[in-house]
Amino acid sequence: MVKKLFTYIFIYTLLVGCDTQNPLSNNICESDCFLDVEAPSLQLDENSYYHIEWLEGYTQTFSTLDANTGSNEIVKVMWDSDSGINYNGYWVSSVNPASYTDNGVSHTVLSVWEEQIGDTLTVYAGYNDECGVEYIDSIRIIIKDEIQN
């Protein structure tokens, strides 16, 4: 009897998902969410690459990145980069790994180091909406040092 109860609970849990039509209630989870990552304080060129200028005399140069989700819910946005540095034996990414939305927008910090000058890095962001749909977007950022002493 207990085994059947657990089986029914398991089956019910599988059927009451938001990402597909629920056969018990005929409701469809609908979402008008999206994901648009941008770097509002960086220059965007005609090829859709952002540019960050290295600040001489500093250990790192920083900028903020935004992820507009279109969601009214508070969602956790995960961030990653294909670039970073090895610091004291640990890999350090060029972006903070996670942030939460406020009014549909999530912010994170981009950090670049001097040894990355001349590199083009890709920053990825992603989240799952309330229907379980996964959204992923990315931007490309060129690290330059045009103001040299």
Q: Mean pLDDT over residues 107-114, rounded?
A: 97
pLDDT tens sequence across 19-70: 334 444 557 888 889 999 999 999 999 999 999 999 999 999 999 999 999 9
* DSSP strand pairing (134-144 vs 49-53): parallel
What is the pLDDT, as a whole number, of residue 130?
Answer: 86
Q: What is the Cα–Cα distance from 121 to 63, expressed in whole angstroms?
A: 14
The number of residues making up the chain comes to 149
> Rounded to 5 degrees, what angle do the CA atoms 40, 135, 20 make?
150
What mean pLDDT do residues 80-100 have? Answer: 95
Report the distance separating Cα 49 and Cα 34, nearest Å: 21
Predicted TM-score (pTM) of the model is: 0.78
